[in-house]
Structure 1
Amino acid sequence: MEYCSTTEPSKRISDLIALVIETYDVLQRESDLTPSNSAITKPISIFTEALRQIYTPEEVKYVMGNVEVATRQKGLLAKLSEAEYLMELFDSRHLCEQPEFGLASLFQYKNWRNYDSLVGEELKQLRRIIRSEEISAPIVFVGSGPLPLSAVLLHLRWNVSVICVDMDPDACEAASSLMERIHLSDNVHVVQGDGAEFDYASYQHVFIASLVTQKDKTLEQIRRTNPNALVAIRTAEGIRQLMYEAINEEAIAAAGWRLLGRTSPIANRVINSARFYRLCPE
């Protein structure tokens, strides 16, 4: 790998910083962030692929500490989050409109392999730390969105019911229609609601999606309604913090949550990672 000093970045890193700025500018300039706008689809694809590459800690430190990057990071995350939601909403509705669409068709979806790898790594961790009496317990997935691929994979791989919780009515409508089309609505249920207000008393396993904002409020609600639950929180690390918000692990630990396991991103495929927690015994 090309060396990058803290004072003189390699061309690779200079190009990455330029790409961050360019992507931010495009997303700020374009009012239409749906997949029908080709002016944003290609830049986002290029940016995403760049973030999937491997970078040294020194390279990450240089990029994240760059003033041009740091001043744009919050706005970039907000726009990327909006674009991802609109893409999933568009794709979910489009898939449901296909006359021959079914579960087997979903396996051919462009991002299926990425999600399969992500969930596969999470389930490896879950198997290591799960209690025997919880093996068949249903899972709540907070922030499941209009295209709940993770929830579908958790059901198919773990053979348990999954409850998808999302605040957005359009996302819930699209996800419900999709589950009906692939005949999984009895196993993957969609509930419109706020994860910070949901009652987790009947659920031992909770997954919190990367795009869920104010995750601390959801954790507090889990504490109130089911302090024995096992919680998996998706996060981002390294250069991938330019696409998804990183959780504050120190704040979570200070709030009494004990880290039980973690996953790491997979180069060229998986951007997110996850942290698994239970509340410390009082």
Structure 2
Amino acid sequence: MPHSELKKHAVETIRRSYRLLSREQDLSPSNSLVNEQLTDLVRTLTRCQSSAVSEYLLATPELAAERERLPGLCGMAECEMEKYWARHLITCATCDLSKFWYYPEYQELCRAEKALFDRRRFDTISFLGAGALPLTAFLLARHLPGTKVTCVDFDAEACDLAQQLSRKLGIANDVDIRCMDALQYAPKDHELVICASLLQGREEIYKRLQDRHCAMIVRDSEGAYQFLYKAAELPEAGFRQVAKTSIDPRRINTSRYYERDMGSSSHATA
């Protein structure tokens, strides 16, 4: 599709998605209208990763409201989707994570993030903003035996579902689910902390982590995917960026790997 046609199609899809999500009360997978529209939105944005198209969409005034508010609506829909799928998997006779719609994307995301820190061995990995379906934590528990994985989320219902799911999968001894504010979580020295895409209060969390000798992965959003997730606030002091995943149609997020910067107050940029 020529860029001119793709731009027009993307604008229409983004605006239509915003209108629909704004008026629907039920943003869960039980609502077929929401499912169909979000599928169309993700598919369309995946095709809009060239700089010419993505820069146009992010800069065009007619999408100013959508850029500001659509990510919040998508985040709410994502939380509902995770709870829906967690409940479904818990009640299944066989708990098969691969049945989840976006399982291949999470597999690829986890593989790419593991490659960022493959030269280091962490005894503990924590996931802040883990949600009801913490696939990253579950995959890491499976692929890194002996590593303790901690999931942190303030949503009590999400934590209860994640706990039930970990028991169903037989990995409850390897995954610690904690219902608490991520700001109150104190990682151990030499722990890897993963900040989820929907994590709130990142800047304050970064400040608290400056006093800890830990490493960190920040999930970010670049290009046209910023209509799904807002670009992440990045650490401004105490950490240096060591590595970063590239934009890839197989995964929505890009991930930035940071280590403590003992000699400088600035972080590296991509």
Pairwise TM-score range, normalised by the shorter structure: over 0.9
Distance (Å, rounded) in 2 between the aligned partners of 1:154 and 1:212: 19
> 2:68, 2:6 → 1: CA distance?
23
2:138 is matched with: 152
C-alpha spacing 1:32/1:109, structure 2 compared with 1 (3 Å): closer
Task: Report the alpha carbon displacement of residue 203 of structure 1 after superposing the two structures with TM.
Answer: 5.5
Q: Which residue of 1 aligns with 2:13?
A: 19
Structure 2 residue 46 is matched with structure 1 residue 61: no
CA contact (8 A) 1:19 1:47 kept: yes
Deviation of 1:108 (Å)? 3.4
What is the one-letter code of the residue matched to 1:210? S
Give the gaps of 5 or more residues in structure 1. 5-9
Partners of 2:28 and 2:77 within 8 A in 1: yes
Aligned to 1:7: none
Percent of aligned pairs sharing the same letter: 27
Task: Give a deviation string over 1:8-34, Cα, whole Å, max 9, x none.
Answer: xx0111110111100000001111111
Distance 1:186 1:248 in 2: 33
Q: CA separation in 2, counterparts of 1:196 and 1:171?
A: 18
> 1:273 pairs with 247, 254, 263, which one?
254
Q: What SS class does the counterpart of residue 150 from structure 2 fall into? A: strand
Give deviations 1:20-73, integer Å, cap 9, x for gaps: 100000001111111111121110111011122253212111110011212221
Name the amino acid aligned to 2:57: V
Contact 1:196 1:219 in 2 (8 A): no
Structure 1 residue 184: Cα displacement: 0.6
Q: In structure 2, what residue type is equivalent to 1:230? A: A
Write the distance in 2 (CA, Å) between the matches of 1:12 and 1:235: 24
Match of 1:127, SS state, is coil
C-alpha separation in 2, matches of 1:146 and 1:273: 21
Distance 2:65 2:87 in 1: 35
Q: Which residue of 1 aligns with 2:246?
A: 264
- State the alpha-carbon separation in 2 of the partners of residues 259 and 94 from structure 1: 38
Instruction: Give the Cα separation in 2 of the matches to 1:17 and 1:193.
Output: 39
Q: How does 1:1-282 map to 2 (within 5 A)?
A: 2=2, 4=3, 10-98=4-92, 100-102=93-95, 105-128=96-119, 130=120, 135-159=121-145, 160-201=147-188, 204-224=191-211, 226=212, 228-249=213-234, 252=235, 254-267=236-249, 269-282=250-263
Contact conserved, 2:90 with 2:168, CA < 8 A, in 1?
A: yes
Counterpart-to-counterpart distance in 2, 1:196 and 1:240: 27
Counterparts of 2:122 and 2:207, CA distance in 1: 25
Alignment-mate amino acid for residue 139 of structure 1: I
Distance, in Å, in 1 between the alignment partners of 2:189 and 2:257 is 19
Contact 1:138 1:163 in 2 (8 A): yes
What amino acid is aligned across from residue 221 of structure 1 in structure 2?
Answer: R
Separation of aligned partners in 1, 2:10 and 2:198:
23
TM, length-normalised to structure 1: 0.89
- Give the Cα–Cα distance (whole angstroms) in 2 for the partners of residues 54 and 47 of structure 1: 11
Q: Shift in Å at residue 213 of structure 1?
A: 1.6
Partner of 2:266: none
RMSD: 1.5
Structure 2 distance, partners of 1:12, 1:77, is: 21
Q: Matched residues in 2 for 1:210 and 1:97: separation?
A: 27
User: Deviations along 1:122-144, whole A, 9 cap, x unmatched?
Assistant: 1011114x2xxxx1411001011
Amino acid at match of 1:280: D
Contact kept? 2:72, 2:229, Cα under 8 Å: no
Query: What letter is aligned with 2:23?
Result: R
